[in-house]
Structure 1
Amino acid sequence: MPDSQERNAVVKDVHGNHFLRDARWTYTTEDNGSIPLVPEFVMLGSDDIRKAIPLDDHVHHGCFEFAFVERGIASWELEGTVYKTQAGDVFHARPGELHRGGFSIIEPCKLWWMILTAPHHDGWLRLPPGESRWIEHSLEDLPRVVQIGFKAVESFKQLRKGLEKTNEALRGMMVRHAIHNLLLQLLQPTEARAVIAEDLLRKFDLLIARMEQEPEWRPSVQELADAASVSQSHFYHTFQEYTGQPPITFIERLRIKEACRKLAETRDSVTDISHSLGYPSSQHFATVFKRFMGVTPTQWRNRST
C-alpha cells in the first residue's frame, strides 16, 4: 500500500514548528512516487485542526494549491490581501504565488488541500486538447474564493481512496476521476448555497458583517434569529449549515481572530484588548484565547513578533 501518513500526535510542519494536529493525513508524490498516468497530481492532505497552528509564507512553483474548508473558518493572506473562507469554500493559490495563513496561522477547522501541476500541455489529466485548454483559461479567471458546497467532501474522500489502492491501473483511474470531479465542481459550481433561501442568506451576510465590525457584540441565538426573522431552531441549523459552525462558536472565533490582529498590529495591553472585545476580565479572555489558539495571548504576541 502507498505510504500515506496519518497521525494524532505532536508533529512538525515544513517550517520546523511543533504543534498538535488531530487526524492529519497526507499523500505526496515526493514520498510515494508519481501516480501512473496522473503525473499532474502532486499532493493531497486533510487536517482536523483542534488548536490554531502556524502556517507561514510558502509557494508552489509550477503548481496550483486548492484548500477546501469542510468545517469551520480559515483565512489566507496573499499579496497583502486577506481572503476569508468558511465551510464549503475553496481558496486557491496560483503557481509561484507566495501565500500563508491569515496572521500566519490557520484557525481550528477541518480542511482538505490538493496540489496539482498547472495545465501546460494538451492532454493534461488525459483530457482532449479543447478541455484542457478550457480548464487552463477557467483557472486564470477563477475568483480567489469559490463556494462549491459540500458535495466536494465525497470527491476528496474518493481521491484519498484512490491513492490508497494497490492496483496501479485502478489507482490511476480513481485518482484522475476524482480530480476531474473536483475541477468541475470548482469551475462550474452548482450546489453552492441553494438549499438556504436567498433572503435568509443576505440576512446571514449582514449579521456576519456586524459580527466582524463589532467584535464586542454578544447576541444570543434568539436575538440573531429575531434579526433574521426566523425561529431560533431554524436559524441555528441553517447558520451552522452556512458557516460550518454553531452561531456562538462562529462569533467567538471571529472575536479571537480580531484579538490576534490587535495583538499583532498594536501595542495595546492584553487587558485593554480583552475589554475592547467585551470580555469581563483579562483572565477570562486568556482562557478563551488559549482554548482556540493553544497558547495564551502573551505567548501568541511574543511568537508573532
Structure 2
Amino acid sequence: MGKFGSASMRWVYRLDDRNGEINGIPELLQLGCQKLAEAYPITFHSHDQGYEFVYVVNGIITWEIDGEYYPVNAGQWFYTRPGELHRARFDHLEPCRIWWFVLKDPSGESDWLRLDRDELAFIADRLEQLPRIFRAGPRASEQFARLKSTLENDMPNKELFARHQVLDILLGMLQQPAAKPVDPDLKQSIATVIEEFARNPEARFSIEQMALSVGVSVSHFYKLFYELYGQAPVAYMERIRMEHACALLRTDRLITDIAMELGFKTSQHFTTVFKKLTGSSPSEWRKHVRDSK
C-alpha cells in the first residue's frame, strides 16, 4: 500500500517508505492534486531523481527557476527537470486548482514502464525537447482522476491499470493537441482591455463594460477571456492590481496610500486581498524584500 499525505483540499500519494514503490510502479515517485482558495507555501525545492509535471486546472501559477518567472495558465503544463531548483513566486502558490506528478528520469533505465528500448529512447528524447510551458489536452483532469481512483482502490491487476494510466497521461503530454483558433481581432481587443487596466489599476471595470468594448456578449467574453488567460476577468484584474502593489511596496509609500491608489476603500481590504494572493501581508512582504537585499 502507498502512503497518503493529507491537508485541507490537498491529496498526495507518495512513495511507500517500506519498499520505495507506489504499488509496484517505481517510475511514479509522487502524485497529487490540490485546490487552493488562498496562497499556499511552496519554497525552493527539487526532485533529484525525476521530472515534475504540474497541470493547472484553473487559476494561474507563477514559477521561478534561476531568477526567471514562468506564468502558467489554466489548461497548461509546467515541468522541471531532475535536480532543477524551483519555487512558486513569492514562495507561495496563488489560488488555483492543480494536479501534479513526479516521474523517475527514464535516462539509463532498461525497464521503465515496461517499454522496449526504442520506445524508451523516444520518451527520453521527447522529454528533453519539451518546452517549459505547453498546452494540455482536454482529457488531462479525467486521466488524473482515473489514476487517483486506481491507486486508492484495491482491484485485480491494479499495477497493470496504474502503469498504463501513467503512460496515458505521459503520451497525452507528448502528443500536443491542436490549438483552439481565436479570432485575431478579438484576441487583440481583449489584450487592449488588459493594457488599459494595467495603466489604470485603480479602475473597477465590470464584465459588461469589457464585453461591450470588445463587441461580444458577456458570456462569450467570459469564455474567450478564460481560454486566453486561464482565469475569470475579475480574478485576472485583481492579479494585475497586486503586481502594481508589489512594485509600490518597494518604495517608502505608506501602505494606506498604496491601498487608496489601487482603488481599495480600506487598507484592511487591501491587506486581505494581498495576503490571499501572496501569502504575506503588505508589511511582511515589504520587510522580506528589504531584508533580502
For structure 2, the residue ranges without an aligned partner over 5 or more in a row are none
Other-structure match for 1:93: 80
Other-structure match for 1:142: 130
Other-structure match for 2:141: 153
Q: 1:233 aligns with which of 219, 225, 228?
A: 219
TM-score normalized by structure 1?
Answer: 0.82
Residues 137 and 173, structure 2, Cα contact 8 Å, conserved in 1: no
**Larger Rg belongs to:** 2
Q: 1:44 aligns with which of 20, 31, 34?
A: 31
For structure 1, the residue ranges without an aligned partner over 5 or more in a row are 9-22
Deviation at 1:221, TM superposition (A): 1.4
Other-structure match for 2:168: 181
Greater shift in the superposed pair: 138-147 or 206-215: 206-215
SS at match of 1:92: strand
Residue 205 and residue 151 in structure 1: after superposition, are their counterparts in 2 closer, same or farther (change >3 A)?
Answer: farther
Trace 1:185-200 onto structure 2 (pairs within 5 A).
185-190=172-177, 192-193=179-180, 197=183, 200=186
Deviation at 1:71, TM superposition (A): 1.1
Residues of 2 paired with 1:222 and 1:54: CA distance?
35
Residues 90 and 278, structure 2, Cα contact 8 Å, conserved in 1: no
Residues of 1 paired with 2:90 and 2:196: CA distance?
21
Residue 261 and residue 148 in structure 1: after superposition, are their counterparts in 2 closer, same or farther (change >3 A)?
Answer: farther
Residues 3 and 16, structure 2, Cα contact 8 Å, conserved in 1: no
Residues 39 and 276, structure 2, Cα contact 8 Å, conserved in 1: no
Cα deviation, 1:182-234, whole Å, max 9, x if unaligned, reads 2122121215545x556544544554566556644543213322343321221
TM-score normalized by structure 2?
Answer: 0.85
The alignment yields a C-alpha RMSD, in angstroms, of: 2.7
Residues of 2 paired with 1:73 and 1:161: CA distance?
26
Q: 2:115 aligns with which of 121, 127, 130?
A: 127
Residue 267 and residue 56 in structure 1: after superposition, are their counterparts in 2 closer, same or farther (change >3 A)?
Answer: farther
Greater shift in the superposed pair: 206-215 or 216-225: 206-215
Residues 24 and 48, structure 1, Cα contact 8 Å, conserved in 2: yes
Residues of 2 paired with 1:213 and 1:96: CA distance?
40
Other-structure match for 1:62: 49
Residues of 2 paired with 1:38 and 1:46: CA distance?
19
Residues 135 and 177, structure 2, Cα contact 8 Å, conserved in 1: no
Q: Percent of aligned pairs with the same residue?
A: 38
Residues 95 and 276, structure 2, Cα contact 8 Å, conserved in 1: no
Residues 68 and 90, structure 1, Cα contact 8 Å, conserved in 2: yes
Other-structure match for 1:5: 5
Cα deviation, 1:27-54, whole Å, max 9, x if unaligned, reads 1014474135521110011111111122
Residue 100 and residue 219 in structure 1: after superposition, are their counterparts in 2 closer, same or farther (change >3 A)?
Answer: same
Give the counterpart letter for 1:95 in structure 2.
P
Other-structure match for 2:258: 273
Give the counterpart letter for 1:138 in structure 2.
R
Give the counterpart letter for 2:154 in structure 1.
T
Give the counterpart letter for 2:271 in structure 1.
A
Residues of 2 paired with 1:206 and 1:134: CA distance?
42
Greater shift in the superposed pair: 122-131 or 185-194: 185-194
SS at match of 2:70: strand
Give the counterpart letter for 1:27 in structure 2.
Y
Residues 93 and 144, structure 1, Cα contact 8 Å, conserved in 2: yes
Deviation at 1:7, TM superposition (A): 3.5
Residues 73 and 231, structure 2, Cα contact 8 Å, conserved in 1: no
SS at match of 1:4: strand
Residue 266 and residue 96 in structure 1: after superposition, are their counterparts in 2 closer, same or farther (change >3 A)?
Answer: farther
Trace 1:8-47 onto structure 2 (pairs within 5 A).
8=8, 23-31=9-17, 33-47=20-34
Residues of 1 paired with 2:71 and 2:173: CA distance?
17
Residues of 1 paired with 2:163 and 2:197: CA distance?
41
Residues of 2 paired with 1:274 and 1:298: CA distance?
12
